[in-house]
Structure 1
Amino acid sequence: MKNVLLLAVGMFALGFDAYIIAGLLPGISDTYDKNASQVGQAVSIFTLFYAISAPLFSSLLAGKPIKKVLLYSMLIFTIANAITALAPTFSILLLSRAIAGVGAGLFSPLAVAASAQLVSSEKKGRAIGLTIGGMSIGTVLGVPLGLYVSNVFNWKISMWVLVIIGVIAALGMLKFLPHFPTTPPPALNERLKLFLDKRVAITVLITFFASLASLGLYTYLSPLLNEISVYNNLAVYLWAWGFGGLFGSVIIGYLIDHFKKPKTLVTIILITLTLSIICIPIMINIPLLQYFPFFVWGAMGWACQAPQQHILLSYQPQNGSSAVALNSSINYLGSAIGATLGGVVLSFGTGSIMLIYFAVLSMIFSLFLQFYSMKREFRITESSE
């Protein structure tokens, strides 16, 4: 499991990077004299290129040594973060976020596949869980840590911390990771064919709208709290969200095994996620309770993906890896568009509270598709009987 830990360190850096910019928004705004909606595009561009890099580059990776691809993708990711820290202009910062997204998008699916190859069959579940867990821990611990460093020094030091983590991961993989064959991420045309299955298309659209709501709101948490909270210590709210995410990631596997009805579980998660977002402005100034919606929001947001993947695997047992990879890409695509649209909402000048309405509207679309999917499946089951 020692080699799997190296991959988990790399995933920790990815989780750190994917969410830290939301916490650094005020500092970056001051450095480049940009407003929050403009700086939010740094999140959009990272997650957009994260979403599209694996499917676009997968054909180019066919037959390439996986250790080299993992190493090069981590180096691309790390160098891009160094450019972010050094960026003299906002345009160069955006370009560096795009490059970092490419490196992250290449590394993530290969790291998960590689972790399963590094251990015996009875340890595969733990290896994959450890690798994916590295990303959630990067969010839970890395983001508040980065925000603390930013407050003590400045936001660029937080990026240099991320660079150091990337260098450690790259050097560890170079020295200790063995050479081994595995399958590269599924090709783009393979993923697009899955849309011909209406059940798959509806399922990934549910993922899309849920991620649209979640990251569209998360990205602009700083201006939102400044507007609606009398106690707007961003780091504490990020801790609550992050610990919720870690809790959701850990508990969801047990819930899936216990209930054995992932579709019902997704419905409960989506309803709870919607209610938690609605409760943010209601509970934001109630001592102690003010953190509860953020914890639940984080837990439900991170928990949603596992049952969605189980559903897709049941729909496409012969193309399971492609279906899961498609869902992952759609998740990050929704995140990118959510951050962009959140910036558009802010640019209207109607106040950050509009982000809550935007997120709830996105969740309503997700719930509508979920109820339609369940009703359609019930009809098919009934007719087959």
Structure 2
Amino acid sequence: MANQSRLSVYLVALGAFALGMASYVTAGLIPLIEGAFSVSAATAAQLVTAFTLAYGLGSPVVVALLPGTYQRLGLLLALAVFIVANIASALATSFISLALWRAVAGVGAGVYLAMGIAASAAITAEAHRGKAIAIIMGGMASGTVLGVPISLLLAERLGWESAMWLISALGLIAYAGLQVKLPALPSAPTLSLVRKLAILRSPYAMAILAVSLLAAIASLGMYTFIAPFMAAADSGTVRSITGYLWVWGIGGVLGSFLVGPLVDKFIGPVITLAIMLLLSIALISLPFAASIHPLLTLLPIALWGAVGWALQVPQNNELVRTRQAHGDGNLAVALNESALYLGSAIGAASGGIVLALHLPASTLAVGAGAIAAIGAATQFIIMVRTR
């Protein structure tokens, strides 16, 4: 990558770091927000719902409506909206206004990530696009794994608002850098909304999104229930899962960064197939490792985190590669992010049914592994039919 392009990609990744913090920090702030606004924990938790729903459902709509001739302006505007929404969240005087601003932040975050990935792909040589996307996804993973604990420590000392101020400050740094360093982006073809929505009739694009959906149901769905799984008698009755979550997160950061060069050297769909197979193996092996000793689960958990986060690099790269010429590459990436959030919700609901039926905790991991295996089979069918 040329120096200016490389710097722009890293600045986009810094914004993604702030985005990763904003996506997951609210869950940790619930006790503080609960006290600050005199609401119940269940009510405070709806802030997470507001952000994720707006991110997953609102951002594709906004991306679809944005004109292709203003790619650079759209990226900067989305980041500005994200920054303003987080500042407004820190200044919110009522819970309702806070919830509304978290929803606005969710839309800005989703649009920014989709356009940031597409912009980085546009200014990077095709031989290095996988690495560029990996840097951005690694930035988001790092924001989740490293940024969230730092912001929570800050919030415990200075109040929950300080976490929002930190996110806003990082976003401002990224915005200032991109305003100066981001080069002009090539204009996408001017398409009507109907033409853009033609992507929904593309069997190949829909198949890619289906694999992302299945991966999210398996990986993010199981992540929701890692605590009850490890607390089960068959898993060693682990009381504290903090260390296990750190291992999962660190694996995710490493996987996000390391997969980039592989995507640039090998065929993306092959990488996706390998990732889905490894994800299935990691999840299915969790109960067997736990039955021997809880610490042995650290190995499949690390692998699970690594491949779960790494998957979106080849997926987004393939979507950009195949849809950019049609003028809907940004929308394709936004839809892929929506598939992740929808898959997470489906996985959480499915796991809740498993617990409600009082099935063994191992059912959670084995079921998630089976869904990942279905995703691998789907990916194999895609490759065969495409070939």
Query: Are residues 1:182 and 2:189 paired?
Result: no
Match of 2:280 in 1: 274
| CA RMSD after TM alignment | 4.2
Deviation at 1:329, TM superposition (A): 1.9
Residue of 307, 310, 313 corresponding to 1:303: 310
Contact 1:211–1:332 (CA<8 Å) still a contact in 2?
no
Change (3 A) 1:208 1:91: farther
Residue of 73, 90, 101 corresponding to 2:78: 73
Is there any run of 5+ residues in structure 2 with no aligned partner, and where? none
- Point out the more displaced range, 97-106 or 39-48: 39-48
Match of 2:251 in 1: 244
User: What CA deviation, in whole Å up to 9, does each residue of 1:210-232 have, x standing for no partner?
Assistant: 11333334356567667775341
Alignment of 1:1-385 (within 5 A): 1=4, 2-25=7-30, 27-28=32-33, 33-35=39-41, 41-58=46-63, 60-62=65-67, 65-87=70-92, 90-115=95-120, 128-151=133-156, 154-174=159-179, 176-177=180-181, 180-183=184-187, 189-190=194-195, 192-219=197-224, 230-232=238-240, 234=242, 236-256=243-263, 260=266, 262-280=268-286, 283=289, 286=293, 288-309=295-316, 316=322, 319=325, 322=328, 325-326=331-332, 328-336=334-342, 338-339=344-345, 342=348, 346=352, 350=356, 357=363, 361=367, 364-372=370-378, 374-375=380-381, 378=384
TM-score by length of 1: 0.76
Deviation at 1:98, TM superposition (A): 1.5
- Point out the more displaced range, 264-273 or 335-344: 335-344
Q: Distance in 2 between matches of 1:148 and 1:181?
A: 39
Deviation at 1:139, TM superposition (A): 2.6
Q: Distance in 2 between matches of 1:53 and 1:253?
A: 28
User: What CA deviation, in whole Å up to 9, does each residue of 1:295-329 have, x standing for no partner?
Assistant: 22210111212333465578x47747736742552
Identity score, percent? 31
- Point out the more displaced range, 203-212 or 41-50: 41-50
Deviation at 1:116, TM superposition (A): 5.2
Corresponding pairs, count = 376
Deviation at 1:14, TM superposition (A): 1.2
Change (3 A) 1:281 1:41: farther
Change (3 A) 1:77 1:257: closer
Change (3 A) 1:361 1:123: closer
Match of 2:187, SS?
Answer: coil
Match of 1:17, SS?
Answer: helix
Deviation at 1:276, TM superposition (A): 3.0
